[in-house]
Structures are given as C-alpha cells and as structure tokens.
Amino acid sequence: MIHTHQFDNGLVLLAEPMDWLESAAFTILVPAGCIHEPADRSGLSGFTCEMALRGAGPRDSRQFINDLDCLGVERSESVGEAHTRYGGATVADNLPRGLEIFADLLRRPRLPADQLEAGRQVMVQDLLAVEDEPAQKVMLRLRQQHYPDPWGRPSQGDADGIEATTIDDIRRHFQRAYHPRGTIVGVAGRVDWEPLLDMVGNLLADWEPRDVQPVPESPQPCVYTHLEYDSNQTHIGIAYRSIPYRSDDYFLAWGAVGVLSGGMSARLFTEVRERRGLCYSVYATHHSLLDRGSVFCYAGTSAERAQETLDVTLNELRKLAQGVEEQELDRLKARIKSALIMQQESSSARSASIARDWYHLGRPRSLDEINQRIDGLAADKINTYLSDNPPGDFTVVTLGRKELEVPVGVS
C-alpha cells in the first residue's frame, strides 16, 4: 500500500512501507525549477539550491553537513525544469532527524551572504564541466532548441546570469519559489505511516502557502543548429515530439523507444554501432514534461563519419514507424523486469518514483501496476501507436568542426 495525504497548505506526503528493508529514503520536490528564473538570471535556481545547503535553522554550514554525516544520511540534490529536488537515504531509525534537518532547509535556510562567492565558484565550476563534456553540451543545447522557453533551460545557467546574481536575488527567489503548494515529499522504506504523518505534520503543516504564478512560454525557432568545436569528434543530438507520462498511451511510446535503445541488442546500437561501426556511443531516451513529451537521441562519432552517422540514425528513427517485432519487445520486457526487481530493493528509487508519479499523475503508481502495464505491452498495440504517431519533425543540433547536411524537413 502507498499512503497519501495532502495538508491544508497544499503540501503532499506520500509513503510506501517496505518492511523487508533496514533503510528509509525521502525525496522532496519543491516547485523551484529553472522555469521560474528571470531571463537575466539563468542558473538562479541552482545557485539558490547551493546556498540553501550552507546552513539552515540552528545549524551553520559546517554543522549542517556534520549532523547529516553523523546520521549517515546519503544526500543528493538537483535542479530540473519544474522542481528543485532534495533527497536522502539512511537507516530507518535516523529518518525523523534527517527530515527535521531538511525541514529547516525548506523553511529557514541561512543563505549566508559571506558564502555567496564560494557558492558562485561552485556554479562556475559546473559551467566549466559542461564545456569539458561536449556530449552533455550538445544535449543541453538540443533541449533548449526543442522545447519552448523556459522549459528547455539548463540547470547550470549561463556565465552572465551567474555573475550577475546577488544574495538579494537568491533570497527573493527562495521566498517566491520555496512554498508548500506544489511541494511533494515521497518516503519509502521501513516506515510506519501514522508516526510519519504526525512528524511531517509537526514540521511542515503550518508552512505558509503562496500563490503559484503561471509560466509564460516563448516558442524557439526551428532551425538546425551547429556548435563550432575544434575536435576530431562530432556530437549529434536529435529530438522529436512524443507524449507525456500522464498519457494513456505512454507505455506504448516508451516501449517503442526501448526497442530503439534498450541495451546492446536494440536497434540503434545494432545498426549504427555494431554493424556499421559508425560511432562509439548512440542512444535514445524518452523525456516527459507535465503536458508534453519528447524523445532525445545522441550519437558520438568521428568527424569523417559524422554525416553518415546522422543519415543512418535518422533513417533508423523513421523506420521505427514500420513497427516493432514481438521478439524485440520480449527482450525489452526481460530487461525492465530486472529493473523493477532492483527497485523493490531500493528505498531511494521508490521514494523518487512515487514523488514523480504524483507530480505527473496526481497519484502514485505501485510496482504491481507498472508490472501489469509492462506485461500488457504487445507488438500490435505499439505498432498501431507508431502508425498514428510516427517519429518526424526532427530537431537536430551538432557539435564539431563543420556543419552537416540536414535533410529537407528536418530542423
């Protein structure tokens, strides 16, 4: 059973007891993602996340980290388009004290002005890391090109926005974006629902809600983009429209992409890398925003074979509309069943999954439900979906020494 409760201030608490585990984990989604940044402060959400970790409530920066370490909390944080995510996992007995510390972060961060420049350097290093990873750079640009602004913004921001950010910008952004309405807390592991509900209620039920502001969109120009980069390698990013996670047909779309790029026997790996030897890396993945989805593909190759790699990859994407075979689907199902079994052994994975489900669906999916959806996949159903929704209207971004020839009708 997955328990759910929505407090009067809008905060949602979810919990999936996993009594066979000794651990417990939490995922907190705060509606403070990149879409809420001012256009001239790109990276503000990530900067705010970094500063929020530098002390909260009675704890300064050092004590904040020390107390989490003493509890054995393995923490993580990230910024996406819609949310800032904080996560932690520890032995179950230490979960209440770990949640107490993060409740202070959500409500009473210190955001110390004397550590602003240290935080800025962390953000600058993240930007430099992207410059050193051309594969990541091309895929970040592909998302910007494919989605309307602000949905494609990179969490790392840009140099101008990070340089311009002040401590007042960070404090205003925190006051505007960190609030209970739209915040989701997912907990999984060895937990008891009633004590957990009381504890989270004591920590967060009186958190003052704020109005949620609409997010205006600006369509991006659909043009092929090439990024100059002096290298013997060329990096290729391709995207096309799909459907969101909340769609009834999502698992059909997801299954089709799994056949395309679900292990070493999948089509892209087999055709583009194994048979033709065109590239050293190739994959495709399904990505979902709240109301739209996309498939993002990547291929890394040599400059000499870049044009052929692009042509063959686009051809494989188009061929997907001709349908999938039952044996391809059987291989995919076997891989997914293994992944589901591993999720049953991970409190962190389940806390993240149920929180994500609530955001997209307004309810959590159990592993049993997901298992039934996977079992229900059939080649004829996927082929009907592909016939009605063939891959097309591709967005292409390349990075390397020279531009490639993009077929007519591809942006």
Closest listed residue to residue 306, CA positions, set 253, 190, 227: 227
Q: What angle do CA 9, 18, 191 make, to 5 degrees?
A: 50
Buried b (16+ CB within 10 A) or exposed e, 378-392: ebeebbebbeebebe
Neighbours of 366 (CB within 10 A): 15
Cα(297)–Cα(287) distance, integer angstroms: 11
Helix axes 250-260, 326-343, angle to 10 degrees: 110
Beta bridge partners of 298: 237, 283
Tens place of pLDDT for every residue, the chain, 411 residues? 899 999 999 999 999 999 999 999 999 999 999 999 999 999 999 999 999 999 999 999 999 999 999 999 999 999 999 999 999 999 999 999 999 999 999 999 999 999 999 999 999 999 999 999 999 999 999 999 999 999 999 999 999 999 999 999 999 999 999 999 999 999 999 999 999 999 999 999 999 998 888 888 988 777 799 999 999 999 999 999 999 999 999 999 999 999 999 778 899 999 999 999 999 999 999 999 999 999 999 999 999 999 999 999 999 999 999 999 999 998 888 888 777 777 778 999 999 999 999 999 999 999 899 989 998 999 999 999 999 999 999 999 999 999 999 986 676
Cα(290)–Cα(167) distance, integer angstroms: 31
Beta bridge partners of 184: 12, 29
Is there a shared CATH topology between the 3-204 domain and the 225-400 domain? yes
**Topology adopted by domain 3-204:** Cytochrome Bc1 Complex; Chain A, domain 1 (3.30.830)
Give the pLDDT confidence score for residue 411 in this predicted structure: 67
DSSP track, 92-109:
GGGHHHHHHHHHHHHH-B
Beta bridge partners of 399: 227, 235
Domain residue spans of the chain: 3-204, 225-400
Give the pLDDT confidence score for residue 30 in this predicted structure: 98
**Topology adopted by domain 225-400:** Cytochrome Bc1 Complex; Chain A, domain 1 (3.30.830)
Cβ contact 40:104 at 8 Å: no
What are the two backbone dihedrals, phi and then psi, of residue 325, each rounded to the nearest 5 degrees?
A: -105, 155
Cβ contact 60:111 at 8 Å: no
Beta bridge partners of 282: 299
- Residue 136, SS3 per DSSP: helix
| Lookup: tokens for 284 | 């495709």
